[in-house]
Amino acid sequence: MIDPQPLASWNEGAAKSAILDFVGAVTKRGGPDFAPPAERIATFDNDGTLCCEQPLQTQFFFAFNRVKELSAEDPTMAERQPFKAVLEHDYDTLFGLGLQALYELAFATHAGITDEEFDEVACGWLATAKHPKVGRLFKECVYQPQVELIAYLRENGFKTYIVSAGGVDFMRAFVEDAYGVPKEQVIGSSVKLRFDAGGDRVSLSKLPELNIFNDREAKPLSIGLHIGRRPLLAFGNSDGDLAMMRYARSGSGPRLALLLHHDDAEREAAYDREFRLSPLSEALDKARDYGITVVSMKRDWKVVF
């Protein structure tokens, strides 16, 4: 089962070596850095870390499409912000709202149905929706080197989690196929749910009210709540992941915090500080101070998709 040549899509270099050395150390029985399998937790951000988030996170394409569908039934939406901006493709207004407000907009379009019905709607959209720039299905805009890394960690006894600002229900609709990560190992932003036991079938309805916006310090806090263990490895790509990376890195024993830098305009995109929805600035400046290993898409990855 163990791949004799893991991380085939990673170029030789400091990042790949850091990963191989770390996994070798924590899995070496009797070694000074051995970690029992129960402690092998790895957490990954999703958008921009495992899949393309340019020009927008996938969930917003889905939500904007929902706005179009819902406004056909309710024309007053076209008069109301922020839906008006969506229908008018007014991205300056939309980006100006910030990431949390944009997720709240998305969640508003996901409310009023059960979590199981939502899963069907999301899977239906994902089955055919294509990324406008990459030119493949959104659910296939995932980074091949990361899929290999997740598989490699799993082969070495790690439980791999996604810890993202993205909506948990939307991510659950594709993470198993895309990364081999089960639904219950996804932690994200969420809305409040309502328990409905009126009819024949008991179910959970999605409300338009935010439960948790899972970004920045909320990431380690939700890891404490959902997992109850400090991860041995954390991988992010923006300032929104810095708290999680520092939390993982500052535990005792061997730890690895990785930061993906999008510096590859040719194969994907080159951006950091200027991406208004999820900038990479402080984490890049302080990576060395905090012991975070920077991964360059251009230098460290043989292929992207």
Residue 220: CB minimum distance to a copy of itself, A: 6
Residue type, 228: G
| Element holding 284 (H helix, E strand) | helix 282-285
Q: Give the SS3 label for residue 163.
A: strand
Nearest residue (CB) to a copy of itself, 175 versus 269: 175
Q: Give the SS3 label for residue 164.
A: strand
| Element holding 196 (H helix, E strand) | strand 186-196
CA gap 147, 181 in Å, rounded: 10
Residue type, 30: G
Residue type, 108: A
Residue 263: CB minimum distance to a copy of itself, A: 27
| Contact residues: a copy of itself, CB under 8 A | 38, 41, 115-116, 159, 168-169, 172, 176, 182-184, 186, 190, 193-195, 197, 200-204, 211, 217, 220-221, 224-230, 243, 246-247, 249-250
Nearest to 15 by CA among 231, 279, 235, 220: 235
Q: Report the phi/psi class of residue 81: left, alpha or beta, with left for phi > 0 and alpha for psi in -120 to 50.
A: beta
What is the DSSP code (8-state) at residue 158? P
Residue 258: CB minimum distance to a copy of itself, A: 16
Nearest residue (CB) to a copy of itself, 82 versus 188: 188
* 157 token code pair: 């006894």
Nearest residue (CB) to a copy of itself, 54 versus 222: 222
Nearest residue (CB) to a copy of itself, 97 versus 193: 193
Nearest to 297 by CA among 258, 248, 245, 244: 258
Residue 106: CB minimum distance to a copy of itself, A: 17
Nearest residue (CB) to a copy of itself, 131 versus 159: 159
Residue 156: CB minimum distance to a copy of itself, A: 17
Residue 78: CB minimum distance to a copy of itself, A: 32
Nearest residue (CB) to a copy of itself, 119 versus 264: 119
| Element holding 14 (H helix, E strand) | helix 14-27
